[in-house]
Amino acid sequence: MVTTEYVPVHNRFASLDGVLRRASSGRPRTVVVETHPRRDSVSNLSAWPMDALPSRGIDTFAYNNRYANSAAGIDVSTLWEPLALDVAAAVQEMRERGYERVVLYGTSAGGPLVAFYQAVAEQGNALFEPERALSGFVGYTTPDGAELRLPRADGVVLQNATSGPASSFLMRLDGSVVDERDVVRDPALDMFAPENGFDPLTGTGHYDADFLTRYTRAQSERMNRLVRTAQELLDRMRRTGRPYLDDAFLVIPGVRAFPAHVDLTLADRTRGTWPTTEGPDRVVRSTRAVVPDASADNRRRMPGTAVHTLTSFLSYRAVLCEPATYDPFATEVGDSGVHDWSSNTSTTRNVARVSVPLLITVGTSDLEVHLPVGELIHNAATSRDKELVIVDRADHAMTRPAPPGGPDPARAAHLDAVAAWVEDRFGR
Protein backbone atom coordinates (compact mmCIF):
# COMPACT_ATOMS: atom_id res chain seq x y z
CA MET A 1 0.00 0.00 0.00
CA VAL A 2 1.44 3.37 -1.06
CA THR A 3 1.61 6.04 1.63
CA THR A 4 2.26 9.75 1.07
CA GLU A 5 4.03 12.05 3.53
CA TYR A 6 4.73 15.77 3.36
CA VAL A 7 8.40 16.31 4.20
CA PRO A 8 9.83 19.72 5.11
CA VAL A 9 13.60 19.72 4.60
CA HIS A 10 16.00 22.00 6.44
CA ASN A 11 19.73 21.29 6.53
CA ARG A 12 23.07 22.90 5.79
CA PHE A 13 22.39 22.93 2.05
CA ALA A 14 18.88 24.41 1.72
CA SER A 15 15.34 24.56 3.05
CA LEU A 16 12.59 23.15 0.87
CA ASP A 17 9.42 21.09 0.96
CA GLY A 18 8.71 17.77 -0.67
CA VAL A 19 6.53 14.69 -0.82
CA LEU A 20 7.80 11.22 0.07
CA ARG A 21 5.82 8.31 -1.35
CA ARG A 22 6.49 4.93 0.24
CA ALA A 23 5.77 1.72 -1.62
CA SER A 24 5.32 -0.35 1.54
CA SER A 25 5.53 -0.25 5.30
CA GLY A 26 8.85 -2.10 5.33
CA ARG A 27 12.33 -0.61 5.31
CA PRO A 28 13.30 -0.12 1.66
CA ARG A 29 16.92 0.60 0.79
CA THR A 30 16.41 2.70 -2.36
CA VAL A 31 14.64 5.98 -3.09
CA VAL A 32 14.28 7.87 -6.37
CA VAL A 33 14.56 11.67 -6.05
CA GLU A 34 13.02 13.81 -8.80
CA THR A 35 13.62 17.46 -9.62
CA HIS A 36 12.93 20.03 -12.33
CA PRO A 37 14.12 23.64 -12.42
CA ARG A 38 11.11 25.18 -14.18
CA ARG A 39 7.93 23.89 -12.53
CA ASP A 40 5.52 25.42 -10.04
CA SER A 41 4.96 23.75 -6.68
CA VAL A 42 2.01 21.59 -7.73
CA SER A 43 3.82 20.21 -10.79
CA ASN A 44 6.95 19.45 -8.78
CA LEU A 45 5.25 17.67 -5.92
CA SER A 46 2.91 15.67 -8.16
CA ALA A 47 5.48 14.74 -10.79
CA TRP A 48 3.93 11.69 -12.43
CA PRO A 49 6.90 9.29 -12.30
CA MET A 50 7.19 9.89 -8.57
CA ASP A 51 3.47 9.24 -8.17
CA ALA A 52 3.54 6.08 -10.29
CA LEU A 53 6.81 4.31 -9.38
CA PRO A 54 5.66 3.37 -5.84
CA SER A 55 3.01 1.12 -7.38
CA ARG A 56 5.99 -0.78 -8.82
CA GLY A 57 7.60 -1.09 -5.40
CA ILE A 58 9.99 1.90 -5.47
CA ASP A 59 9.94 4.76 -2.95
CA THR A 60 10.11 8.27 -4.42
CA PHE A 61 10.72 11.82 -3.26
CA ALA A 62 9.72 14.94 -5.21
CA TYR A 63 10.46 18.44 -3.97
CA ASN A 64 10.14 22.14 -4.75
CA ASN A 65 13.31 24.06 -5.54
CA ARG A 66 14.05 27.61 -4.42
CA TYR A 67 12.54 29.15 -7.57
CA ALA A 68 9.15 27.38 -7.45
CA ASN A 69 6.35 29.97 -7.46
CA SER A 70 8.92 32.75 -7.66
CA ALA A 71 7.38 36.22 -7.78
CA ALA A 72 9.80 37.02 -10.61
CA GLY A 73 8.28 34.28 -12.72
CA ILE A 74 9.75 31.06 -14.02
CA ASP A 75 13.21 31.50 -15.53
CA VAL A 76 13.45 35.30 -15.30
CA SER A 77 15.92 35.35 -12.42
CA THR A 78 16.88 31.68 -12.19
CA LEU A 79 20.53 30.99 -11.47
CA TRP A 80 21.62 27.49 -12.36
CA GLU A 81 24.32 26.76 -9.81
CA PRO A 82 22.26 27.33 -6.60
CA LEU A 83 19.82 24.64 -7.77
CA ALA A 84 22.44 22.01 -6.95
CA LEU A 85 22.19 22.96 -3.28
CA ASP A 86 18.50 22.06 -3.35
CA VAL A 87 19.34 18.64 -4.79
CA ALA A 88 21.97 18.25 -2.07
CA ALA A 89 19.39 19.07 0.62
CA ALA A 90 17.06 16.38 -0.76
CA VAL A 91 19.82 13.76 -1.03
CA GLN A 92 20.99 14.50 2.51
CA GLU A 93 17.43 14.22 3.85
CA MET A 94 16.95 10.83 2.22
CA ARG A 95 20.28 9.58 3.63
CA GLU A 96 19.25 10.71 7.09
CA ARG A 97 15.96 8.84 6.69
CA GLY A 98 17.91 5.63 6.27
CA TYR A 99 17.99 5.12 2.51
CA GLU A 100 21.17 3.37 1.44
CA ARG A 101 20.76 4.12 -2.25
CA VAL A 102 19.60 7.42 -3.77
CA VAL A 103 18.82 7.58 -7.48
CA LEU A 104 18.41 11.00 -9.10
CA TYR A 105 15.67 11.39 -11.71
CA GLY A 106 15.41 14.33 -14.09
CA THR A 107 12.81 14.99 -16.77
CA SER A 108 13.45 17.44 -19.62
CA ALA A 109 15.44 20.34 -18.07
CA GLY A 110 15.59 18.29 -14.86
CA GLY A 111 17.93 15.89 -16.69
CA PRO A 112 20.71 18.45 -17.12
CA LEU A 113 20.24 19.46 -13.48
CA VAL A 114 20.72 16.00 -11.98
CA ALA A 115 23.66 15.38 -14.33
CA PHE A 116 25.24 18.64 -13.15
CA TYR A 117 24.60 17.78 -9.54
CA GLN A 118 26.19 14.35 -9.73
CA ALA A 119 29.19 15.74 -11.61
CA VAL A 120 29.73 18.30 -8.83
CA ALA A 121 29.19 15.66 -6.13
CA GLU A 122 31.84 13.43 -7.71
CA GLN A 123 34.33 16.05 -8.88
CA GLY A 124 33.91 18.79 -6.30
CA ASN A 125 34.96 22.33 -7.20
CA ALA A 126 37.59 20.89 -9.53
CA LEU A 127 34.70 20.59 -12.01
CA PHE A 128 34.89 24.34 -12.58
CA GLU A 129 38.56 24.41 -13.55
CA PRO A 130 40.53 25.06 -15.67
CA GLU A 131 37.91 26.40 -18.12
CA ARG A 132 35.24 28.39 -16.35
CA ALA A 133 31.67 28.68 -17.60
CA LEU A 134 30.13 32.00 -18.66
CA SER A 135 28.44 32.33 -15.27
CA GLY A 136 31.86 32.80 -13.68
CA PHE A 137 30.92 30.36 -10.94
CA VAL A 138 33.98 29.19 -9.00
CA GLY A 139 32.50 26.56 -6.69
CA TYR A 140 30.62 25.78 -3.49
CA THR A 141 32.08 26.92 -0.17
CA THR A 142 31.21 26.92 3.52
CA PRO A 143 30.88 30.21 5.45
CA ASP A 144 34.53 29.97 6.47
CA GLY A 145 35.67 29.57 2.86
CA ALA A 146 36.34 25.82 2.80
CA GLU A 147 35.07 23.67 -0.05
CA LEU A 148 31.51 22.46 0.47
CA ARG A 149 31.21 18.88 -0.75
CA LEU A 150 27.80 17.72 -1.90
CA PRO A 151 26.60 14.18 -1.07
CA ARG A 152 26.81 11.77 -3.96
CA ALA A 153 23.88 9.88 -5.39
CA ASP A 154 24.18 6.27 -6.54
CA GLY A 155 22.53 6.42 -9.94
CA VAL A 156 21.03 8.87 -12.45
CA VAL A 157 17.94 8.60 -14.69
CA LEU A 158 17.42 11.10 -17.52
CA GLN A 159 13.92 11.08 -19.03
CA ASN A 160 13.58 13.02 -22.30
CA ALA A 161 16.46 15.16 -21.06
CA THR A 162 17.47 18.19 -23.08
CA SER A 163 21.08 18.78 -24.01
CA GLY A 164 20.96 21.60 -21.45
CA PRO A 165 18.86 24.75 -20.92
CA ALA A 166 21.52 26.76 -22.76
CA SER A 167 22.11 24.51 -25.77
CA SER A 168 18.38 23.76 -26.18
CA PHE A 169 17.78 27.54 -26.05
CA LEU A 170 20.30 27.88 -28.87
CA MET A 171 18.46 25.24 -30.90
CA ARG A 172 15.23 27.28 -30.71
CA LEU A 173 16.78 30.73 -31.14
CA ASP A 174 15.39 32.51 -34.21
CA GLY A 175 18.35 32.90 -36.54
CA SER A 176 16.59 35.54 -38.62
CA VAL A 177 16.62 38.19 -35.86
CA VAL A 178 19.34 40.73 -36.65
CA ASP A 179 18.15 43.58 -34.39
CA GLU A 180 17.14 42.63 -30.85
CA ARG A 181 15.62 45.96 -29.84
CA ASP A 182 13.35 46.52 -32.85
CA VAL A 183 13.00 42.80 -33.70
CA VAL A 184 14.17 43.18 -37.27
CA ARG A 185 14.38 39.92 -39.20
CA ASP A 186 16.41 39.00 -42.26
CA PRO A 187 13.78 37.64 -44.70
CA ALA A 188 16.33 35.26 -46.22
CA LEU A 189 16.68 33.55 -42.82
CA ASP A 190 13.02 33.50 -41.76
CA MET A 191 12.02 29.85 -41.25
CA PHE A 192 8.35 30.88 -41.24
CA ALA A 193 8.53 32.43 -44.73
CA PRO A 194 7.01 30.36 -47.59
CA GLU A 195 9.92 31.20 -49.88
CA ASN A 196 12.27 29.50 -47.41
CA GLY A 197 10.27 26.27 -47.09
CA PHE A 198 7.40 26.93 -44.65
CA ASP A 199 3.84 26.01 -45.65
CA PRO A 200 1.37 28.31 -43.83
CA LEU A 201 -1.58 26.12 -44.87
CA THR A 202 -0.34 23.06 -42.99
CA GLY A 203 2.10 24.57 -40.50
CA THR A 204 4.83 22.27 -41.78
CA GLY A 205 8.14 23.05 -43.37
CA HIS A 206 10.75 21.52 -45.62
CA TYR A 207 14.12 23.25 -45.69
CA ASP A 208 16.94 22.61 -48.11
CA ALA A 209 20.53 22.08 -47.04
CA ASP A 210 21.65 25.57 -48.03
CA PHE A 211 18.98 27.25 -45.90
CA LEU A 212 19.75 25.03 -42.90
CA THR A 213 23.47 25.77 -43.14
CA ARG A 214 22.85 29.51 -43.23
CA TYR A 215 20.20 29.32 -40.52
CA THR A 216 22.22 27.34 -37.98
CA ARG A 217 25.20 29.63 -38.57
CA ALA A 218 22.96 32.64 -37.90
CA GLN A 219 21.63 31.02 -34.71
CA SER A 220 25.17 30.50 -33.48
CA GLU A 221 26.23 34.03 -34.36
CA ARG A 222 23.18 35.45 -32.61
CA MET A 223 23.85 33.48 -29.43
CA ASN A 224 27.44 34.73 -29.37
CA ARG A 225 26.19 38.32 -29.82
CA LEU A 226 23.76 37.92 -26.92
CA VAL A 227 26.59 36.62 -24.73
CA ARG A 228 28.77 39.62 -25.61
CA THR A 229 25.90 42.02 -24.97
CA ALA A 230 25.20 40.55 -21.52
CA GLN A 231 28.88 40.56 -20.57
CA GLU A 232 29.43 44.14 -21.74
CA LEU A 233 26.36 45.44 -19.89
CA LEU A 234 27.38 43.72 -16.67
CA ASP A 235 30.93 44.98 -16.97
CA ARG A 236 29.74 48.55 -17.51
CA MET A 237 27.41 48.41 -14.52
CA ARG A 238 30.12 47.05 -12.27
CA ARG A 239 32.51 49.79 -13.37
CA THR A 240 30.12 52.73 -13.39
CA GLY A 241 27.01 51.75 -11.40
CA ARG A 242 24.86 52.72 -14.39
CA PRO A 243 22.10 52.27 -15.29
CA TYR A 244 21.76 50.01 -12.22
CA LEU A 245 24.04 48.93 -9.43
CA ASP A 246 23.94 45.16 -9.85
CA ASP A 247 21.86 43.68 -12.68
CA ALA A 248 19.48 44.43 -15.54
CA PHE A 249 17.07 42.65 -17.84
CA LEU A 250 17.83 41.14 -21.22
CA VAL A 251 14.80 40.81 -23.53
CA ILE A 252 15.25 38.13 -26.17
CA PRO A 253 12.62 37.94 -28.94
CA GLY A 254 12.22 34.92 -31.19
CA VAL A 255 12.89 31.88 -29.02
CA ARG A 256 10.66 29.21 -30.63
CA ALA A 257 12.13 28.84 -34.09
CA PHE A 258 13.64 25.39 -34.47
CA PRO A 259 13.27 23.97 -38.01
CA ALA A 260 12.91 20.39 -36.72
CA HIS A 261 9.65 21.39 -35.00
CA VAL A 262 7.96 21.72 -38.40
CA ASP A 263 10.21 19.77 -40.79
CA LEU A 264 9.82 16.16 -39.75
CA THR A 265 12.49 14.97 -42.18
CA LEU A 266 15.02 16.47 -39.77
CA ALA A 267 16.21 14.33 -36.86
CA ASP A 268 13.88 11.64 -38.17
CA ARG A 269 15.92 8.63 -37.03
CA THR A 270 18.81 7.53 -34.87
CA ARG A 271 22.30 7.24 -36.26
CA GLY A 272 22.99 4.00 -34.42
CA THR A 273 20.92 0.96 -33.47
CA TRP A 274 19.17 0.97 -30.10
CA PRO A 275 16.64 -1.10 -28.15
CA THR A 276 13.08 0.14 -27.84
CA THR A 277 10.31 -0.80 -25.47
CA GLU A 278 8.60 -2.71 -28.28
CA GLY A 279 11.42 -4.39 -30.11
CA PRO A 280 15.08 -5.36 -30.48
CA ASP A 281 17.98 -3.10 -31.46
CA ARG A 282 17.42 -1.23 -34.69
CA VAL A 283 17.74 2.18 -36.32
CA VAL A 284 14.79 3.90 -34.65
CA ARG A 285 12.55 6.25 -36.64
CA SER A 286 10.82 9.30 -35.26
CA THR A 287 7.02 9.25 -34.86
CA ARG A 288 6.71 13.01 -34.26
CA ALA A 289 3.70 14.92 -35.55
CA VAL A 290 3.48 18.67 -36.16
CA VAL A 291 1.29 20.53 -33.69
CA PRO A 292 -1.79 21.64 -35.69
CA ASP A 293 -1.26 25.42 -35.59
CA ALA A 294 -0.28 26.69 -39.01
CA SER A 295 0.00 30.40 -38.25
CA ALA A 296 3.59 31.62 -38.39
CA ASP A 297 2.66 34.47 -36.04
CA ASN A 298 1.22 32.04 -33.52
CA ARG A 299 4.28 29.83 -33.76
CA ARG A 300 6.46 32.83 -32.96
CA ARG A 301 4.36 33.40 -29.87
CA MET A 302 4.86 29.89 -28.37
CA PRO A 303 6.27 31.81 -26.43
CA GLY A 304 7.76 34.49 -28.59
CA THR A 305 10.06 36.23 -26.13
CA ALA A 306 12.26 35.30 -23.19
CA VAL A 307 13.22 37.71 -20.41
CA HIS A 308 16.18 37.12 -18.10
CA THR A 309 18.36 39.13 -15.85
CA LEU A 310 21.87 39.38 -17.26
CA THR A 311 23.25 37.10 -14.56
CA SER A 312 20.44 34.60 -15.10
CA PHE A 313 21.05 34.53 -18.85
CA LEU A 314 24.78 33.89 -18.43
CA SER A 315 24.18 31.20 -15.81
CA TYR A 316 21.17 29.48 -17.35
CA ARG A 317 20.72 30.18 -21.08
CA ALA A 318 24.09 31.20 -22.53
CA VAL A 319 26.58 28.96 -24.30
CA LEU A 320 29.42 29.68 -26.71
CA CYS A 321 29.48 28.02 -30.10
CA GLU A 322 31.29 27.93 -33.45
CA PRO A 323 29.14 29.42 -36.26
CA ALA A 324 30.95 27.49 -38.98
CA THR A 325 30.40 24.07 -37.38
CA TYR A 326 27.28 24.35 -35.18
CA ASP A 327 25.08 21.30 -35.77
CA PRO A 328 21.94 20.84 -33.62
CA PHE A 329 21.59 17.26 -34.88
CA ALA A 330 25.08 16.05 -33.97
CA THR A 331 25.38 12.82 -31.99
CA GLU A 332 29.01 13.39 -30.98
CA VAL A 333 30.13 16.36 -28.90
CA GLY A 334 33.08 17.01 -31.19
CA ASP A 335 30.71 17.46 -34.15
CA SER A 336 28.25 19.79 -32.42
CA GLY A 337 30.13 23.07 -32.64
CA VAL A 338 29.01 23.83 -29.07
CA HIS A 339 31.60 24.67 -26.41
CA ASP A 340 29.92 22.65 -23.70
CA TRP A 341 32.50 23.78 -21.11
CA SER A 342 31.05 27.32 -21.39
CA SER A 343 27.79 26.39 -19.64
CA ASN A 344 27.35 24.53 -16.39
CA THR A 345 23.95 23.45 -17.73
CA SER A 346 25.52 21.31 -20.46
CA THR A 347 24.28 17.74 -20.16
CA THR A 348 27.11 16.36 -22.29
CA ARG A 349 29.78 18.14 -20.25
CA ASN A 350 28.39 16.77 -17.02
CA VAL A 351 27.60 13.16 -17.97
CA ALA A 352 31.22 12.90 -19.09
CA ARG A 353 32.17 13.44 -15.44
CA VAL A 354 29.71 11.01 -13.85
CA SER A 355 30.76 7.46 -12.95
CA VAL A 356 27.56 6.01 -11.44
CA PRO A 357 25.04 3.94 -13.44
CA LEU A 358 23.16 6.09 -15.95
CA LEU A 359 19.82 5.43 -17.68
CA ILE A 360 18.72 7.65 -20.58
CA THR A 361 15.18 7.34 -21.97
CA VAL A 362 13.69 9.20 -24.93
CA GLY A 363 10.35 9.04 -26.72
CA THR A 364 10.07 8.71 -30.49
CA SER A 365 7.19 11.24 -30.64
CA ASP A 366 8.92 13.92 -28.59
CA LEU A 367 8.87 17.27 -30.41
CA GLU A 368 11.03 18.97 -27.80
CA VAL A 369 13.87 16.44 -27.49
CA HIS A 370 14.62 14.71 -30.75
CA LEU A 371 16.22 11.29 -31.02
CA PRO A 372 19.79 12.48 -31.79
CA VAL A 373 19.85 14.31 -28.44
CA GLY A 374 19.46 11.00 -26.62
CA GLU A 375 22.30 9.55 -28.67
CA LEU A 376 24.45 12.63 -28.06
CA ILE A 377 24.05 12.35 -24.28
CA HIS A 378 24.68 8.60 -24.32
CA ASN A 379 27.79 8.96 -26.47
CA ALA A 380 29.16 11.71 -24.22
CA ALA A 381 28.67 9.70 -21.03
CA THR A 382 31.72 7.93 -19.61
CA SER A 383 30.04 5.72 -17.00
CA ARG A 384 30.84 2.06 -17.58
CA ASP A 385 27.18 1.33 -16.87
CA LYS A 386 25.15 3.47 -19.25
CA GLU A 387 22.00 2.57 -21.14
CA LEU A 388 19.76 4.28 -23.69
CA VAL A 389 16.17 3.03 -23.93
CA ILE A 390 13.80 4.45 -26.55
CA VAL A 391 10.07 4.44 -25.82
CA ASP A 392 7.98 3.84 -28.93
CA ARG A 393 5.42 6.54 -29.80
CA ALA A 394 5.94 8.45 -26.55
CA ASP A 395 5.85 12.25 -26.49
CA HIS A 396 7.74 14.65 -24.22
CA ALA A 397 5.59 13.64 -21.24
CA MET A 398 6.01 9.95 -22.12
CA THR A 399 2.37 9.65 -23.18
CA ARG A 400 0.48 8.41 -26.21
CA PRO A 401 -3.26 7.94 -26.74
CA ALA A 402 -4.55 5.04 -24.68
CA PRO A 403 -7.48 2.70 -25.44
CA PRO A 404 -10.72 3.82 -23.76
CA GLY A 405 -10.51 3.02 -20.08
CA GLY A 406 -7.02 1.58 -20.36
CA PRO A 407 -3.64 2.73 -19.04
CA ASP A 408 -1.35 4.86 -21.15
CA PRO A 409 0.82 2.27 -22.96
CA ALA A 410 3.84 4.56 -23.33
CA ARG A 411 3.93 5.53 -19.67
CA ALA A 412 3.43 1.96 -18.60
CA ALA A 413 6.30 0.78 -20.80
CA HIS A 414 8.54 3.58 -19.61
CA LEU A 415 7.80 2.99 -15.93
CA ASP A 416 8.40 -0.74 -16.33
CA ALA A 417 11.79 -0.02 -17.91
CA VAL A 418 12.79 2.44 -15.18
CA ALA A 419 11.60 0.19 -12.36
CA ALA A 420 13.45 -2.82 -13.80
CA TRP A 421 16.64 -0.77 -14.21
CA VAL A 422 16.50 0.57 -10.64
CA GLU A 423 15.74 -2.81 -9.09
CA ASP A 424 18.38 -4.60 -11.14
CA ARG A 425 21.13 -2.25 -9.96
CA PHE A 426 20.04 -1.13 -6.51
CA GLY A 427 17.18 -3.30 -5.30
CA ARG A 428 14.19 -1.82 -3.52
Length of the chain: 428
Give the integer Cα–Cα distance in Å for 22 and 61: 9
Predicted pLDDT at 96: 96
On the 0-12 / 13-18 / 19+ scale of CB atoms within 10 A, 209 is exposed
Which of the two residues, 68 and 383, has the higher pLDDT score?
Answer: 383
Q: Give DSSP secondary structure letters for 357-392.
A: -EEEEEETT-SSS-HHHHHHHHHH---SSEEEEEET
Q: Domain-by-domain residue ranges, the chain?
A: 3-167+339-426, 170-265+294-330
Query: How would residue 244 be classed by pLDDT, with cut points 50, 70 and 90?
Result: confident
Task: Convert the pLDDT of each residue in 142-174 to its tens digit.
Answer: 999 999 999 999 999 999 999 999 999 999 999
Do 6 and 19 touch, CB atoms closer than 8 A?
yes
Give the integer Cα–Cα distance in Å for 254 and 203: 17
Decide yes or no: CATH 3.40.50.1820 for domain 3-167+339-426. Answer: yes
Give the integer Cα–Cα distance in Å for 414 and 392: 9
Task: Convert the pLDDT of each residue in 70-124 to its tens digit.
Answer: 766 668 999 999 999 999 999 999 999 999 999 999 999 999 999 999 999 999 9
Predicted pLDDT at 302: 53
Query: What residues form DSSP beta bridges with 35?
Result: 106
Question: Which range among 246-250, 251-255, 301-305 shows the weakest confidence by mean pLDDT?
Answer: 301-305
CA distances, 81 to each of 9, 137, 152, 382 (Å): 19, 8, 16, 22
Predicted pLDDT at 427: 86
pTM: 0.95
Amino acid symbol at 203: G
Tell me: pLDDT of 133 over 70.
yes
CA distances, 233 to each of 132, 138, 344 (Å): 20, 21, 21
Query: How would residue 25 be classed by pLDDT, with cut points 50, 70 and 90?
Result: low
**DSSP code for 343:** -
Query: What residues form DSSP beta bridges with 269?
Result: 285
3-state SS class at 252: strand
- According to DSSP, the β-strands at 320-321 and 358-363 are unpaired
Task: Convert the pLDDT of each residue in 394-424 to its tens digit.
Answer: 999 999 876 676 778 899 999 999 999 999 9
Give the integer Cα–Cα distance in Å for 417 and 391: 9
| Residue 181 backbone class (left: φ over 0; alpha: ψ -120 to 50; beta: rest) | alpha
Q: How far apart are the first and last CA of the chain?
A: 15
Give the integer Cα–Cα distance in Å for 370 and 223: 21
Predicted pLDDT at 303: 57
Question: What value does the mean pLDDT take over residues 191-211?
Answer: 94
Q: What are phi and psi of 155, to 5 degrees?
A: -165, 165
On the 0-12 / 13-18 / 19+ scale of CB atoms within 10 A, 396 is middle
Share of the chain above pLDDT 70, in %: 95
Question: Which range among 44-58, 81-95, 224-238, 256-270 shows the weakest confidence by mean pLDDT?
Answer: 44-58
Q: What sign has the CA pseudo-torsion 223, 226, 232, 234?
A: negative
Helix (H) or strand (E) holding 228, with range, is: helix 209-240
Task: Convert the pLDDT of each residue in 43-67 to its tens digit.
Answer: 788 788 898 999 999 999 999 999 8
